[in-house]
Structure 1
């Protein structure tokens, strides 16, 4: 198990200097440990930005390959998790920009298949509703919401990351928040089909 995160970001995992030294020395088991600790945060961030599981898996692989390739460039001026998170964000946004240039757009189907009529437990149902609502937002709006609320980036940082202005980040956050509020209102959600067996 990784150490307990000291901050709100799911990336905020304190990686011991001794473990990083072993990764730098090319020790495979040390890299695998770092990979296991950061696999879920990287995948989740990529999924929220890209909106597609296959794209998120690609971002995870590309991020970890870059971490392994660039570990000697990590000077330790900031926490390792912040350095790794920056690589993951850059990879996800680069892939999002690439996808935006393709005519097909994004696969926004992030929810579970509809053929199972068994009701979800309340917490899981709420999570599924939120996931569907997020998936329905435009990619740039969803990205801003995730970077701001889940990862704690400022509007200025998001503007730089997305190669946009600070006001773009603020307007996307406001627009996304309003849209989510509408989508999450009980009256606005479609009634789930129930089984009459």
Structure 2
């Protein structure tokens, strides 16, 4: 799966941004606004927090672009800043818990599912199920399945080992199946 962050920028654009060119900054922001917001929303499950993560991430990118060495793709560097920013927000709010107690579910507004086509309804149901997971589990699931991080990388980000990530992904998938009312048999025959 190709990451939504995999946006190649010309070196000239990055160089212009380093010089403080506002048009270059605007272009970089436009390219990465949606992927950063989506990543933050998947990790935090709250639109306001996702907007704040987007804002904080872009500020860090703009402030730190002089330190970008170019040995890796720019988008990879920016994505790592976004992930770290979202994780820091969850840590500061003490929402990253390492117990298995599920959070209290938020009130559900069923109205949007009533008028959506089937595929969109399925996406809305999946989004609600993901948001019902504990923050840590949802974050690990998204980093692994949505962003393509390895268990080892996730373990390092969380200050844990690869086995932590593997068990969270396994448990999270089981919880998702339960929340969606999907049996293991249905998953294997789909």
The residue aligned with 1:154 is 150
The residue aligned with 2:33 is 39
Higher mean C-alpha displacement, 64-73 vs 46-55: 46-55
- Of 160, 163, 168, 1:164 maps to 160
Q: Tell me, what secondary structure is at the counterpart of 2:94?
A: helix
Corresponding pairs, count: 177
Contact 1:52–1:108 under 8 Å retained in 2? no
Offset at 1:185?
2.7
- Of 137, 142, 152, 1:141 maps to 137
1:97 aligns with 2:91: yes
Q: Tell me, what secondary structure is at the counterpart of 1:78?
A: coil
Q: Deviations over 1:10-41 (max 9, x none)?
A: 11111111111111111111111111111111
Separation in 2, partners of 1:24, 1:110? 45
Please identify which structure carries the higher helix content: 2
Offset at 1:114?
3.7
Contact 1:51–1:108 under 8 Å retained in 2? no
Separation in 2, partners of 1:151, 1:117? 26
Separation in 1, partners of 2:181, 2:124? 14
The residue aligned with 2:99 is none
User: Following superposition of structure 1 onto structure 2, how do residues 48-127 of structure 1 map, counting pairs within 5 Å?
Assistant: 48-100=42-94, 109=106, 113-115=109-111, 118-127=114-123
The residue aligned with 1:20 is 14
The residue aligned with 1:190 is none
Indicate the RMSD between aligned Cα atoms, in angstroms: 2.2
Using the size of structure 1 for normalisation, the TM-score is 0.83
Gapped runs of 5+ residues in structure 2?
97-102, 184-190
Contact 2:18–2:65 under 8 Å retained in 1? yes
